[in-house]
Structures are given as structure tokens and as C-alpha cells.
Amino acid sequence: MHATHPPAGVHELLSDPDWTYVDVRSTQEFEQGHVPGAYNVPLLHMGAGGMRPNPEFLAAMTRHFPKTRKLVLGCKSGGRSERACELLAQQGWTSLVNMAGGYHGAYDMGGGVLEQGWAACGYDTAREALPGRSWRDLQPPPAPAR
């Protein structure tokens, strides 16, 4: 089970240091702008043929975030982070919040705003990850060659 909050609610949650923001977008998206202090653990990777699942997602989440850690998950518009919350809840994480509208906002088929994203709400953004918070730093080490 998890909750969903709009960016304003997430901004309030993140004022409490017990909450951690995990951006589940691809590394390319994360590097274009993200919530300050965010960790980047992609649910999907961007490749030549489009988006493909990140086989290391659960391993990285398990290694870096205890199942009792209070986590806010966000993505571009809220869909991937919703799926990530569902997956993590099934694996035993107990305090999960999905950021509705994500970083860029959620739109209907006609382009109307369903939920403003973090950036459109005017909250601070960052382009550089803090040390130890990029996917490069969080991904599992490569398997030893045989």
C-alpha cells in the first residue's frame, strides 16, 4: 500500500529529513533536471529501441534503502513512479509515496493539465546529483569476469 501526493505535498514531506526522494526516470531524464537531493534509480532505461526494464532496479533499491525507509518516488508524470511504488510495496517496503504529476506534469489526451509537475510548481530543481546519488554510483558493481 502506498499514498499519492501532488508536488506541494511532496515538497512538504521532503522538509522532514526522514523522507528520501528517489527519481525512477532514466539517467538521461534525471540529468536534465530533478528534485534537489534526489537519488536516481531508473525503473526503465532509455535505449535505441525505446524504454526497457532495468533488471537491477530491485537489487539497487534493496541495497541502498531499508524497507522501513520513508520513500517518495517520482518520474516524468507519475506513471513509472506509481509502478515502482506497487513493485516495492509487493517486496515489503512500508512507507511509500508516489508524486502525482511527477517532475514535468501529467496531461490529458488534449494536452490539458491533469496535475502540475514539480518544475511547473516553481520548486527548486537541480541538474547535478549529490555525491553517491546518481545511478552511476548506485548501480550494482559489474559481475566479475570468468
Enter the C-alpha cell of residue 142: 559489474
Query: Do the strands 106-107 and 19-23 form a parallel or antiparallel pair, or are they unpaired?
Result: unpaired
Cβ–Cβ under 8 Å, residues 24 and 86? no
pLDDT digits (tens, 9 = 90+) for 128-142: 999 999 999 999 877
Write phi, then psi, for 13 (nearest 5 degrees).
-55, -45
pLDDT digits (tens, 9 = 90+) for 91-129: 999 999 999 999 999 999 999 999 999 999 999 999 999
pLDDT digits (tens, 9 = 90+) for 46-72: 888 889 999 999 999 999 999 999 999
pLDDT band for 84, please (50, 70, 90 cuts): very high
pLDDT digits (tens, 9 = 90+) for 4-43: 999 999 999 999 999 999 999 999 999 999 999 999 999 9
Does 75 qualify as catalytic in the annotation? yes
Quote the pTM value: 0.94
Please tell me which residue in 14, 43, 73, 75 is annotated as part of the active site: 75
Domains and CATH numbers, the chain: 3-138 (3.40.250.10)
Evaluated on CA atoms 13, 7, 125, 94, the torsion sign reads positive
